Structure 1
Amino acid sequence: MSSSSLKQVWPEPAEMTAEQMALAALRHEIDEIDDALLDLFRKRLSLASCVGQAKDAPTGPHTKLRPDREQAVMARMLTRAAPEDAEAVEALWREIVGWGLNRQGRLQVQVWAPTDPTRAYDGARLRFGRAAELKLVRDPQAALRFAADGHGVAVLGLNTDDAWWTALVREWSSLSVFDGFGGDIPTSLAVAKIDPAALPKGRRVVVSAGGDAGLGSSARRWGLATHHGWSLSLTDAALERGEIEGCVGAIG
């Protein structure tokens, strides 16, 4: 490295020790990487804007979320990442994807979780990134209406006095579950007006009344909530959104 380059990162290179010279060289290399990352990020944001204009979507109001595409991007990045970097890579790419989506219009997310709001809010923040506008709300039905009108996403808690999820096969049949927060057995679900073809690969979310709703004894199930004969569960059965079995979405 030339003396002029070192002057950019350290005032008087002639008076530096060997350790200080080595540190200055490392910092200079980091600065160059930062510059390259910024240029690539700007390019990605520009491409995201173009993708938003060309994106296939159902007619009428809807979100521009493509959970299947996001799932594929994340899986590819985590496959390439070292195991010890996986958590950092996931968090970084959530932010990158979120800011790319922001170029297509800021994502609005309403969160209702009266029993554990912090857990639901933090899960939504990690999933959608800081580019999304999150708001805690008091009325789950209003949040569902907000999502059904195509304005954004509703993140709603489970095992509460309001069994809002029963309406996903009736009043809010235009909405689909596409993610869950709180662990392998989620304590809150994300719903939006999602193109069924864009749902992630993974366990299907089923709302049923009085029994297993035809899922079959060979299909593994995970119970999430119950209410007056209704049940909400996850299953590994291969169901399509809207089938008679009561599939209302999927969690990757």
Structure 2
Amino acid sequence: MPHSNVQKVWPEVVELTPEQQALAALRAEIDAIDDQILALFEQRLAVAATVGRAKDAPTGPHTKLRPDREQTVLSRMLSKCRPENAEAVEHLWREIVGWGLARQGRLQVQVWAPIEPTRAYDGARLRFGAAADIKMVRDPQKALAFAAEGHGVAVLAINTEDAWWMGLRREWSMLSVFDGYGGETPTSLAVGKIDPPALPKGRRVVVTAGGDAGDGGGARRWGLNTHHGWTIALTEAELTPGEAEGCVGAIG
């Protein structure tokens, strides 16, 4: 019988070190957690799509945004998480909420910021998440007109000479400020056709004739910009949007 040159090749058995075994176990644990996260995330997306059909206010069509609800959800999560994880939790939940909102219709965001455009764009991206369709525009009035249609929102700089915000008391009175970006004294504001009861709890945004002396009631006030005798400011006073005090919205 001729001698066969075929040799069986057996896989070499490699013994893992204790460190490698521990790492493999941790990776398996992460995989199991990822599976749970995926299942819960997809479940949340399905529920969010159903919620969207119940959001239209009885007074007329508004954007699907509910800043008050988002504020409540985020505050609840931040109160439950460990302090060292707060920043990560905030970013994660912004994305989760953003993708849930996208199941109700992808949010369109127009950003106008001739000064520090990156700062305004990054603020919008953090607020609305990667699911939102965000683009820079050159005309604040066109962005306001877009927001007035109720299908999207505008993020507009206020640290400029263009006093677009004066229109919130006049031709754009159907719009409300609902967020601000740039720190304690924001340099840009988000506006949209928001159902008034859905505005966040926090400082009110006021547009008034005259200076920034306040209302005399002792409420703290932050001046944001002035133009030809008109002022836009933040106040801690409890004001109702659309009333005579010039309240045009609120930021958390």
Q: TM-score, normalised by structure 2?
A: 0.93
Deviation of 1:57 (Å): 1.8
Query: Per the alignment, in what secondary structure is the counterpart of residue 15 of structure 1?
Result: coil
Residue number in structure 1 paired with 2:230: 230
Gapped regions of structure 1 (runs ≥ 5):
1-10
CA distance in 2, matches of 1:212, 1:141: 25
Query: Per the alignment, in what secondary structure is the counterpart of residue 53 of structure 2?
Result: helix
Residue number in structure 1 paired with 2:177: 177
1:67-110 CA-to-partner distances (Å, cap 9, x unmatched) read: 00000000000000111100000000000000000000000000
The answer as to whether partners of 1:158 and 1:188 remain within 8 angstroms in 2 is yes
CA distance in 1, matches of 2:12, 2:191: 58
CA distance in 1, matches of 2:226, 2:212: 13
Residues 153-168 of structure 1: pairs in structure 2 closer than 5 A: 153-168=153-168
Show structure 1 runs of 4+ deviating over 3 A. Answer: 11-14, 58-61, 211-214
The answer as to whether partners of 1:111 and 1:121 remain within 8 angstroms in 2 is yes
- Change in Cα spacing, 1:177 to 1:14, as seen in structure 2 (3 Å) is same
CA distance in 1, matches of 2:213, 2:243: 11
Q: TM-score, normalised by structure 1?
A: 0.93
1:174-211 CA-to-partner distances (Å, cap 9, x unmatched) read: 00000000101100000000000000000000000024
Gapped regions of structure 2 (runs ≥ 5):
1-10
The answer as to whether partners of 2:56 and 2:64 remain within 8 angstroms in 1 is no
Identity %: 75
Deviation of 1:216 (Å): 2.6
Deviation of 1:151 (Å): 2.1
Name the Cα RMSD after superposition: 1.6
Give the count of matched residue pairs. 242
- Change in Cα spacing, 1:25 to 1:184, as seen in structure 2 (3 Å) is same
2:172 is equivalent to residue 196 of structure 1: no
Residue number in structure 2 paired with 1:215: 215
Deviation of 1:160 (Å): 1.1
Residues 1-252 of structure 1: pairs in structure 2 closer than 5 A: 15-211=15-211, 215-252=215-252
